[in-house]
Amino acid sequence: MTAFVAGPGAGLLSACATAGAGGDPTAAPATSIAASANPKNPFGADAKKPLEVVIFSGGYGDAYAKDLHEELYKKAFPGVSIKHTATQQIGTQLRPRFIGGDAPDVLNNSGPESMDLAALAAEGHLADLTPLFDAPSIDDPAKKVRDTVTPAVLDNAKIDGRDLVLNYTVSHRALWYNAKLFESRQWTVPKTWAEFTALGETAKQEGILLFAYPGQKGPYYQLWNVLYTAAKIGGNQVILDIDNLVDNAWTAAPVNQAVAVWVDVQTKYGDKAYFGLDHTQTQVKQLQNEVLFYPVGSWIENEMAKDKPADFEYAIAPIPDVTASDAMPYGAIQVGVGENFVVAAKGQNPRGGLEYLRVMLSKEGARGFTEKTKNLTVVNGAAEGLDLPAGLMSAARAQDAAGQNIITDARFEGWYKELFDYGTEQINVVMAGRSTPQEFCDRMQEKADAVKNDSSVAKQTRSQ
């Protein structure tokens, strides 16, 4: 399974998103739902049956669901009632409901409390999305839904070989900075690690941190950053080995080196006070030009839109060359699909859940999402002609410049949540200087080995 890759010159906008169980005992199991001959209602959803939708209210907010997707669903089924819930406590609120057989029909599983999808799949809680991908597109019934989205959607949908997850957005994770600040100081974006640290010295003289990440509710941003740096040094095989639980994957030299260089940056150009801040507080500090580079994804622009001052313009910077022999050249960035949605197999209305996702994958649903969130979706052609913000255009240019040099996404986050959660704890420990880079790698390898040797954990594999 791979992250979405745009070919050289493809262009972001054209290539990607232009870029006891509960329920009605008479309802057919979600796994048996097949597309019918009716293109307007291919899953045979009951037009009068209520639907429940739970949305993670993070960087994208929830207006796109409440004011757009749910309204489009109601347009298709006039008079239907939809229960809408927005929360940041996905696991806390939803885990007991799944266990109790009272799961919502559609779940946006995201954020620091996201649920373990592999575990939910193993317990039979996730509806098969193959009928969704094989259903006729709302925009063109002659096309299947699978033919209207970037192929990475289909690659990343699978758990244990089954289509169970819809990733809805295209995201760019790298280092984000204020282009207007750089322009006013006549600074250039560093391409080598020597240039990066030299800029750190210059910024320090002006009371600006070279780099920061949130120690609370966002340390996984830095875990991602370290892994992408390791891939920059050693190639995407580094991440594939970690995902595949290959022996000694975490203790490989590129991983150790990536941890070491970022610990060095934190020590010399960071501030331990940020370990006590959450993502919003840290992002406000960057908007106040107290931080130059922040490791995050392209949702940042919308997330901070209300707080962003006029003299701040988000732009994306690739990870600088760490060595003269990095496996991936300067300009390589991570581009992937994300923001996953699932339908509860044991929910009250799985047929309606599938139809809701089909609505999301219409051009109207996808274009509206981009308009409301300033982020791209996986629906081809949906964002053509939209006036996109500066940060998103910067990401589009960066993806075009990267060509085939795309850093893959790490999949163990969804496959082995216990390992990922442990990593988010340990990255704070090592970045704060309470362990060495080698100790971090050893601890992560020990944890990965424990997962590998645990017969109760379903194992996943990827080849690219």
Q: What tens-digit pLDDT sequence spans the chain (464 residues)?
A: 333 333 322 333 332 222 233 333 333 334 456 556 688 999 999 999 999 999 999 989 999 999 999 999 999 999 999 999 999 999 999 999 999 999 999 999 999 899 999 999 999 999 999 999 999 999 999 999 999 998 889 988 999 889 999 999 998 999 999 999 999 999 999 999 999 999 999 999 999 999 999 999 999 999 999 999 999 999 999 999 999 999 999 999 999 999 999 999 999 999 999 999 999 999 999 999 999 999 999 999 989 999 999 999 999 999 999 999 999 999 999 988 999 999 999 999 999 999 999 999 999 999 999 999 988 899 988 888 888 899 999 998 998 899 889 999 999 998 999 999 999 999 999 999 999 999 999 999 999 999 999 999 999 999 88
Say yes or no: 149 and 85 in one domain: yes
Does one domain contain both 83 and 179?
no
Q: Are both 290 and 212 inside the same structural domain?
A: yes
CB 340 within 8 A of CB 165: yes
Alpha helices for 80-236 (secondary structure H): 90-99, 117-122, 130-134, 152-156, 179-185, 193-205, 219-234
pLDDT, position 233? 98
Predicted model pTM = 0.77
Query: What pLDDT score was predicted for residue 346?
Result: 95
243 and 325: one domain? yes
Residue 189 is predicted with a pLDDT of: 98
Give the residue from 349, 365, 391 where a domain finishes. Answer: 391
Is residue 386 in a domain?
yes
Spatial distance between the Cα atoms of 336 and 236, rounded to a whole number of angstroms: 13
Q: Residue 361: name the closest of 96, 200, 90, 144 by CA.
A: 144
Q: Do 182 and 152 sit in the same domain of this protein?
A: no
Whether 193 is in a domain gets the answer yes
On whether both 121 and 261 belong to a single domain, the answer is no
CATH of residue 222: 3.40.190.10
396 domain residue, yes or no: no
Same domain, residue pair 114 and 203: no
The answer to whether residue 6 is domain-embedded is: no
Verify that 329 and 215 share a domain, yes or no: yes
C-alpha to C-alpha distance for 458 and 164, rounded to whole angstroms: 15
- For residue 381, tell me if it sits in a domain: yes
Q: Find the domain containing 19 and state its range.
A: 12-171+336-391
Please state the φ and ψ torsions of residue 344, each to the nearest 5 degrees. -75, 120
**Residues 293, 384 within the same domain:** no
Q: CA gyration radius for the chain?
A: 22
Are 27 and 111 in the same domain? yes
pLDDT value of position 33: 67
Same domain, 112 and 221: no
- Domain for residue 185, yes or no? yes
Domains in the chain: how many in total? 2
Ordered DSSP codes for 174-200: EEEEEHHHHHHHT-----BHHHHHHHH
Q: Are 362 and 417 members of one domain?
A: no
The answer to whether 340 touches 377, Cβ cutoff 8 Å, is no
Task: Report the Cα–Cα distance between both ends of the chain, in Å, rounded.
Answer: 6
> Does any domain span residue 1?
no
Contact 446, 41 (CB under 8 A): no
Q: Looking at 348, 366, 391, which one is the last position of a domain?
A: 391
pLDDT at 37: 66
Residue 401 lies in a domain: no
